[in-house]
Structure 1
């Protein structure tokens, strides 16, 4: 553990890294990709207090027919307040928000995609009753006394574009899948801390080749000295054929979102309840 010149506490190095910013502490946990099979003989008779391995825990807590190829089961970003309460971001909770009942792609798009790939083994997944793109509208997991209230306040994105010293930055992958080389789906959370405040972006990016691009973003911002967090979530999407941008832009989540129309938006404020 060490201190920066301005007095912020940094916990490093190792698996867990944290940064203290006023009354807030941002904790990052990173680990390897989860295995594709049980690693702990969880199905064998064992002591009752034995913990499930990540694979079996995901199998037990999720009702999805399959999981993304790359799941970072132990990765996490947690934003904690000194008075208690937090909002954290994990792969498990993100996948719990995936629709496990129906394919959420528009029928016309899905049919055109399947016809174009009649001989593709992966296309058969489209007919299964779940969202095979692993799209999530996850906005983070709140722990009391941090709670959500309605607000009309907005995050000043122009202010965030002003160049400032970056006191802390990290990127945490939650899950990713290349959809059998027919596109990409990934869920990533990024955090950065500046003298003016901290900023978090949770992004789910989906590209289904020849079909559409979708970006679900949740942004959190807390100004320096504030005991609240502004949270804005949006869904943006468009058919690929309607995007007049280079393919390299379509494949870059950090660029393409600016060219997608907003389909849905939610705004709230996270506060510490008395």
Structure 2
């Protein structure tokens, strides 16, 4: 006997903002369900794009499991009228999770597992994949928006100057509480000011008593520019070495300033 189809959910909500020659488009929807959305299941002979979100994600990603909360239809897309775009979404972010991670994450998982020998969940987490869903995704480029080397940096001090906010949004992509033993979260924020637009794509990880990690990709395009500056950084530290209150390392918007820099990449996205 086949299970009844899940109730039809409202379509995604979209918002667009024009800034000079750029179009900023935000799409937001509900959390992806934990069961196939098609009565009787998706036909496995179908192309992934024609399957429901869950079956499409499972087929494309091939991860042993998915985060508890995945916003499959959420996205931020920035397009230039001359062609080309950069997009942030959950599927592309999860594609960058290491399916065969055997170094850092597993080493930390072992320490975490030993400290929780009586915890059933802890006995399951050490697998041949990054169970923290850490991603080094930097945005999906399309068309003639191409990356080139650059030494030009984003002026963060300038961005701290109070300006009118013309447009702002926060888009959640995925999140998992690691069975109440930490948090892994992927979110992208965008704000538009008279002087330019600024984007922060962030993956935040906290494994209690073990590690805090923040992977950030920042984008900035000043008014009148046909390029976007892009900076990507990875910061992390063992919790035992963080001399801050727990409220600090549980706040991704604050703790990154207390974490040592591990890697950094700087480039410029140019319309060609």
Segment of structure 1 superposing worse, 124-133 or 85-94: 124-133
Q: Distance in 1 between matches of 2:211 and 2:13?
A: 37
Q: How many aligned residue pairs are there?
A: 260
- Residue number in structure 1 paired with 2:164: 165
| Partner SS for 1:127 | coil
- Residue number in structure 2 paired with 1:29: 27
| Partner SS for 2:94 | helix
1:28-66 Cα offsets, whole Å, 9 max, x none, are: 000000001111144448888992000010011002100
Shift of 1:205: 0.1
| Partner SS for 1:73 | coil
- Residue number in structure 2 paired with 1:6: none
Q: Is the 8 A contact 1:33 1:72 kept in 2?
A: yes
Stretches of 4+ aligned residues off by more than 6 angstroms: 45-50
Which sections of structure 1, spanning at least 5 residues, go unmatched? 1-13
Gap change, CA 1:160 and 1:49, over 3 Å in 2? closer
Gap change, CA 1:202 and 1:86, over 3 Å in 2? same
| Partner SS for 1:203 | strand
Q: Is the 8 A contact 1:42 1:52 kept in 2?
A: no
- Residue number in structure 1 paired with 2:5: none
1:87-114 Cα offsets, whole Å, 9 max, x none, are: 0001000000000012443555333211
Q: Normalising by structure 1, what TM-score?
A: 0.91
- Residue number in structure 2 paired with 1:204: 203
Q: Is the 8 A contact 2:212 2:239 kept in 1?
A: yes
Q: Normalising by structure 2, what TM-score?
A: 0.92
Q: How do residues 1-274 of structure 1 correspond to structure 2 at under 5 angstroms?
A: 15-40=13-38, 41-44=40-43, 51-105=50-104, 109-273=108-272
Q: Distance in 1 between matches of 2:255 and 2:52?
A: 37
Q: Distance in 2 between matches of 1:78 and 1:208?
A: 31
Q: Distance in 1 between matches of 2:47 and 2:125?
A: 39
Q: Is the 8 A contact 1:212 1:238 kept in 2?
A: yes
Shift of 1:120: 1.2
Which sections of structure 2, spanning at least 5 residues, go unmatched? 1-11
| Partner SS for 2:50 | coil
Q: Is the 8 A contact 2:227 2:270 kept in 1?
A: yes
| Partner SS for 2:262 | strand
Q: Distance in 2 between matches of 1:49 and 1:121?
A: 34
Q: Distance in 1 between matches of 2:134 and 2:105?
A: 13
